[in-house]
Structure 1
Amino acid sequence: MTDNDFRRNPFHPRAVDEDTCLEQQIQHLLVAVEHELRSAPAGMNELSLIKVLQKPPWELLGDVVFSEPEKLYPVHFLLFHVLYRLRDQLSETGESLRISPLTIRIETQAVVGGEGVPDSVDTLRQFYLDLSQYRLPDEAIQQMMDDFWAGAPGQAPAQSETRQAAETLGFTAIPPDFPTVKQRFRRAVMRAHPDRGGKTETIQHLNQAFSVLKAHFRHSI
């Protein structure tokens, strides 16, 4: 039986053993993530947090291949699972956690609505707290990523997140229209391409910013 086979079968003995190890890793990540976020009051983005968790003293995440969705997905899912669990814990002390790929930050006052109230209707929270989603087969992960980049329906991003996405693409303010975003995005990706000395992580940042602005203009229509 291959790794993919037992990932698809949650009742296989290897899957049960993996569940135990996974929960232990989650508990370690909860401690590490809270520590790092409290050490960064202004918050950090997802990629920065992943890199911190890869390094000593934590070393809780292995190598991440940002250019391959099926390899990036488990790390992304696990991190966001931990973030939503941490947000629920913080709510008990009157704190909240802003969660998005561009901004992850502990806030001293609970955010109104789905971003900060654990018992409100929050489809993202429901998804990331369901650990069965961690072991999706590769084809399902690829389809999910294809839907995401194609602009699958969702909630409009917060204004602060939209402004930050615009800055990531080099704008000083939210651009007036989506064609302007696409033009700037193409130029930025070309400059950041590894063949020109750029980094894959930079392209991932640009992709995230582009998706936020795409969602912004989709909901503005």
Structure 2
Amino acid sequence: MNDDLDPSQDLADQVLQLLQAAPDGLAEYALIQQLKSRHSGHLPNLPLTDKLVLFRTHFLLFNALYRLRDRLWQEQTYLLEISPLCIRLQPYQHGSSALSERDELRDYYLDLSQLQDTDECDVERLLTSFWTRMQGGDEKQAALELFELHHEQALDLPRIKQRYRQMVSVHHPDRGGSTERLQSINLAMEILGRYYH
């Protein structure tokens, strides 16, 4: 059986296909890996260790997710939950105001000029508060420091997820935080998800 995705499909349709096969949802990193392993063709076929590649891959995926969320909402088929920890299809419910509020993250990811106009220097600036904490190229340590968890002994994924949710609630643009800071938090969670299972 050929597991490759249909190359003529839009990335949003490919994502929908993978999410329909994963009722418990997928973390961002797992979704990216599945898209790459099934030869999506829409994401850069390059290692995620390069910051600009990581940014572009993340941006393209989240652009597709927000487009898909809007479409599924209009079709009244699903609600799409979007978070680096869990991207999941939920049953559509009438009367939900989930999409009626202004969503600065949605606006950011649907603006393709953000992708086209962002170069390596911009990515560096976007993630400065995060990457400057890197010492000796240790991404795990940098992510733990961003989450202020580097001194905790008994660290596991539930504790990291709890801290992630706390930080998102504090730094979300809707609550006065910045998109850049939230992206750093999302990236840190994506990195820590590779180390803690």
Q: TM-score, normalised by structure 2?
A: 0.61
Give the number of aligned pairs. Answer: 148
Residue 127 in structure 1 maps to residue 108 in structure 2: yes
Task: Name which of 42, 50, 55 aligns with 2:37.
Answer: 55
Alignment partner of 1:101 is 2:77: no
Residue 213 and residue 34 in structure 1: after superposition, are their counterparts in 2 closer, same or farther (change >3 A)? closer
Q: Specify every segment of 5 or more residues in structure 1 that has no aligned partner in the other structure, as ranges.
A: 1-24, 151-168, 170-177, 189-204
Maintained 8 Å contact 1:64/1:75: no
Residue deviations 1:114-155, cap 9 Å, x none? xx31x42100000000000112121111111124678xxxxx
Determine if contact 1:26/1:82 at 8 Å carries over to the other structure: no
Task: For residue 214 of structure 1, report the CA deviation from its aligned partner.
Answer: 6.2
Over 3 Å counting, the alpha-carbon distance change for 1:64 and 1:57 in structure 2 is closer
What is the CA distance between 1:92 and its match in structure 2?
1.6
Match of 1:90 in 2: 72
Pairwise CA distance, 1:186: 11
Contact in 2 for aligned 1:69/1:145 (Cα 8 Å): no
Contact 1:46 1:102 in 2 (8 A): yes
Gaps of 5+ in 2: 1-6, 133-143, 172-197
TM-score, with structure 1 as normaliser? 0.55
- Residue 44 of structure 2 contacts residue 53 of structure 2 at CA under 8 Å; is this kept in 1? no
SS of the counterpart of 1:132? helix
Instruction: Name which one, 1 or 2, has greater alpha-carbon Rg.
Output: 1
Partners of 1:41 and 1:106 within 8 A in 2: yes
Taking only aligned residues, the RMSD between alpha carbons, in angstroms, comes to: 3.6
**Contact 2:66/2:106, CA 8 A, preserved across alignment:** yes
1:211 CA displacement: 7.2
Identity %: 31
Tell me if 1:182 matches 2:150: yes
> CA distance change for structure 1 residues 185 and 107 in 2, over 3 Å: closer, same or farther?
farther
Distance, in Å, in 1 between the alignment partners of 2:8 and 2:152 is: 38
Query: Going by fraction, where is helix more abundant, 1 or 2?
Result: 1
Q: Distance in 2 between matches of 1:210 and 1:68?
A: 28
CA offset at residue 37 of structure 1?
Answer: 0.5
CA distance in structure 2 between the aligned counterparts of 1:71 and 1:211, rounded to whole angstroms: 27
- State the distance in 1 between where 2:168 and 2:113 align: 30
Partner of 1:201: none
Quick one: higher RCO (CA 8 Å, sep 6+), 1 or 2? 2
Following the alignment from structure 1 to structure 2, what is the Cα–Cα distance between the partners of residues 186 and 67? Answer: 28
